[in-house]
Amino acid sequence: MTYYQIFDLCRIYINNIHRMVQIFGIESANRTLIREINRIFLDYMTYEGVYKACNRFGLKTNASPLQKTNI
């Protein structure tokens, strides 16, 4: 049995941006960065168990002074 029979090469995903550039090219790294940034926003918006908007109204309730300065 070979690796391409075990792994679906169209669905393999790594979050190491440098390796993505080396192996698959810059466009693949771009897509990886977009996916990772989207996941960060999704985690931020739902980590309290409820939906929290990622705008000035949602960030206003945050205790972090750094995030408050960005409003």
Provide the whole-model pTM: 0.62
Give residue-wise pLDDT tens across range 9-68: 778 778 889 998 998 899 988 999 999 999 988 888 888 888 877 777 666 666 666 666
What is the crossing angle of helices 26-46 and 17-24, to 10°?
Answer: 150
Query: How big is the chain, counted in residues?
Result: 71
- Euclidean distance between the first and the last CA atom of the chain, given in angstroms as a whole number: 55
The CA distance from 41 to 29, in Å, is 18
Decide if 33 contacts 41 (C-beta within 8 A).
no
Return the closest-CA partner of residue 17 out of 31, 3, 4, 2. 31
